Amino acid sequence: MASANGRFPSPFEVPTPEGCEGWKELYPYYYVFSDDRREFEDNRFWFQDGMHHPEPLYPFDTITSESWWVALGQYNTRVFVVPPALGIDQRVLNGYLYITALPVANPNDIPARVGEFMERAGYYYQNWDRLYAQWVKKAEETIADLKAIKVPDLPEREDLETVVRQGRGITSAYDLLTAYNRAIENMHKIWHLHFEFLNLGYAAYLTFYGFCKQTFPDIPDQTVAKLVSGIDVILFRPDEELKRLAKAAVDLKVAGVFKKTIHPDKVIAEMGKSDAGKKWLAELEKSKDPWFYFSTGTGFYHLHRSWIDDMTVPCLAIRGYIEKIEKGETIARPMAEIRKERDRLAAEYTALLPTDEAKKAFQEQLGLARTVFPYVENHNFYVEHWHHTVFWNKMREFGRLLVKHGFFKEVDDMFYLHRFEVQQAIYDLIGAWGSGGEARGPKYWPPIVAKRKVLFEKLKKWAPPPALGEPPEVVTEPFTIMLWGITTDSIQTWLKPKEAGAKELKGFAGSPGVVEGPARVITSVEELVNVQPGEILVCPITTPSWAPIFNRIKATVTDIGGMMSHAAIVCREYGLPAVVGTGYGTKTFKNGQMLRVDGSTGVVTALN
């Protein structure tokens, strides 16, 4: 993992896995480590972005990472001028995404940047409610525009009335080309919108965090997080809809259907046999749009389907809620208790301040953090879930067209091409259609796709090093710490040889509390059906659509993430202990192994 001098391997020294030669051909020239940029790349600290991109990047799916690469960077560097930080650079190595945070090169430039940031970001903070309402409208319009894109077929003859008699002047070839381009542009647009507010939300929290640490030096990180908890965000709405549907099933006396089966097609068929079941199905339809546009993964990959495509996860969750309702147990989030504790802490820390001026400053910082913090979670539903569900399915419409014309054998074969290559394939198709000639694609692409499928199965088996290059002496970049959970200590842990059979792991104290229970190690969404009540969820990361599982488990342990990761935020809102960013939880613990999770200290201990 690390050389004797305390470095991680150089990206130029990491060997290509056997059978994966030629992997660089899957990605654009600018997206891989290269000798002509070696001086820059070899002197940076890169870490694998397992939070957003834990699997090898399918060539087409790089549109998500490439979009946030540009969007995040431009808002830091060109729009809001974040004082100490530029953007985050990206490279692919053996199919996996590595990223590095870029600081402002000359510290003497930071004071001037502070003034610009205060003017630009300050305007957003002062007008947050109005601008955020405007943002919601823009996001919904962008999704609607994507839905409205029509993917035309190429007819034998263009329509006589519209094209000839009305003198339209353009044809289905133009429609197909522009439909694809608009869909791609739409993805870039939603990611521009994604970062219009996100880093400001993090910055406000980090400013409040810094204020608390300076004013109250001994305040725990968890207490700072608790002061902004008890939030009402739409990211929890899909889970609330499942609770509503569970209650409706009980009230309509059709809950027995879920005791027989959680197979979506069987549930729907069984419900359709009775009037009460049909009423329940009507309630289901009310929930679907938009709340079932909820990816079972991060949303960054085409292969993670959403609830709207596969209702297995919702059906499993509804059954679990029905069981709790029938036992007389509550299924509501403990919002009242969380807010009561939040307000108690705020009052106590305010009382510690010596002057009215200091108290006012604390309340203003706290008020801003609470105002902007919901966006940190809300944007996720609009972008990674609702929009991306529509996007991946829209891309499948293009895939079906290319299958019809012989370019691919299966619809999802398209995702083994980069978006630039798909555009070439579409142009090949319209060129042959327009001229009456023969497209090359049906002979060219199938063998390439077949080769890439084999290559991807091999890349999936490769274990990417957690980091590359020269580690910093001290990690100070706040987003790296708060979101990814990468600290000076975690880097040192990575550099040490992993102990076989380790009894204890340490991570971030994500959400307080101490519990004991059997481990349930989950490495894919398909395994969620195996989670039993009272288990401790051990996983690489959690995603928002896993929220229903939080009513079944005792605690969460993740490999990746910091105080602002989704797992930490959700566990605090559900009142569950969490230890995040352990690094090796899924590789250290086994199913059924008894664990003690101390979410207050960030320690997970194997009891047997």
pLDDT in tens, 100-118: 999 888 989 999 999 999 9
Integer angstrom CA distances of residue 596 from 76, 196, 475, 519, 535: 41, 41, 29, 10, 11
What pLDDT score does 366 carry?
93
Average pLDDT over residues 237-251: 96
The pLDDT-based confidence of 474 (bands split at 50, 70, 90) is confident
pLDDT digits 0-9 by tens, 137-156: 999 999 999 999 999 999 99
In the Cβ-directed half-sphere of 53, how many Cα atoms lie within 13 Å?
26
Boundaries of every domain in the chain: 498-606
What does the pLDDT look like over 64-104, one tens digit per residue? 999 999 999 999 999 999 888 899 999 999 999 999 999 88
| 576 vs 551, more confident | 576
Judged against a pLDDT cut of 60, whether residue 3 lies above it is answered with no
Distance, in Å, from the CA atom of 190 to the CA atom of 300, rounded to the nearest integer, reads 13
Q: What is the pLDDT of residues 351-407, one digit of tens each?
A: 999 999 999 999 999 999 998 888 878 899 999 999 999 999 999 999 999 999 999
How many angstroms separate the CA atoms of 30 and 36, rounded?
11
Retrieve residue 73's tokens.
Answer: 């960077």
Asked if 172 and 152 count as a contact pair (C-beta separation under 8 A), the reply is yes
| pLDDT given for residue 499 in this prediction | 61
Average pLDDT score, the chain: 92
| 62, 116, 125, 388 from 122: Cα distances, Å | 33, 9, 5, 31
Q: Cβ distance 416 to 60 under 8 Å? A: yes
Handedness of CA 543, 549, 550, 553 (dihedral sign): negative
pLDDT in tens, 436-459: 999 999 999 999 999 999 999 999
Pair 319, 249: CB distance under 8 Å: no
Q: What is the pLDDT of residue 306?
A: 95
**pLDDT at residue 1 tops 50:** no
Surface-to-core class of residue 320, CB atoms within 10 Å of its CB (0-12 exposed, 13-18 middle, 19+ buried): buried
How large is the C-alpha radius of gyration of the chain? 26
> Where are the alpha helices (H) located in 302-355, listed in sequence order?
312-326, 335-352
**Total Cβ atoms within 10 A of residue 475:** 18
Partners of 48 in beta bridges: 98
Q: Say if residues 95 and 63 touch (Cβ distance below 8 Å).
A: no
Sign of CA dihedral 446, 447, 450, 456: negative
- pLDDT band per the 50, 70, 90 thresholds, residue 2: very low
The β-bridge relationship of strands 536-539 and 555-558 is parallel
pLDDT at 432: 97
**Do residues 42 and 12 lie in contact, with contact meaning Cβ atoms separated by under 8 Å?**
yes
**Closest Cα partner for 451 from 416, 502, 490?**
416
Predicted model pTM: 0.93
The CATH homologous superfamily of the domain defined by 498-606: Phosphohistidine domain (3.50.30.10)
* Angle CA 321–327–328, to nearest 5: 90
Average pLDDT, integer, range 556-567: 84
Q: Taking each helix axis as running N to C, give the angle between helix 237-251 and helix 275-291, from 0 to 180 degrees, rounded to the nearest 10.
A: 180
pLDDT at residue 497, as a whole number: 64
Look up residue 32 and give its DSSP letter. Answer: B
Residue 221: predicted pLDDT? 84
**pLDDT over 70 for what percent of the chain?**
98
Count of other CB atoms within 10 angstroms of residue 58: 21
**Rounded mean pLDDT, 327-348:** 91
- Residue 261, pLDDT above cutoff 70: yes
pLDDT at position 392 is 98
Distances in whole angstroms, Cα of residue 403 to Cα of each of 26, 60, 147, 440: 21, 16, 21, 14
Give the range among 202-206, 402-406, 595-599 with minimum mean pLDDT: 202-206
Give the contacts of 365 (CB within 8 A, at least 6 positions apart): 207, 208, 211
39 pLDDT exceeds 50?
A: yes
Q: Can you give the pLDDT at residue 472?
A: 84
Cα(453)–Cα(285) distance, integer angstroms:
37
Please name which of 461, 460, 455, 428 lies closest in space to residue 443, comparing C-alpha atoms. Answer: 428
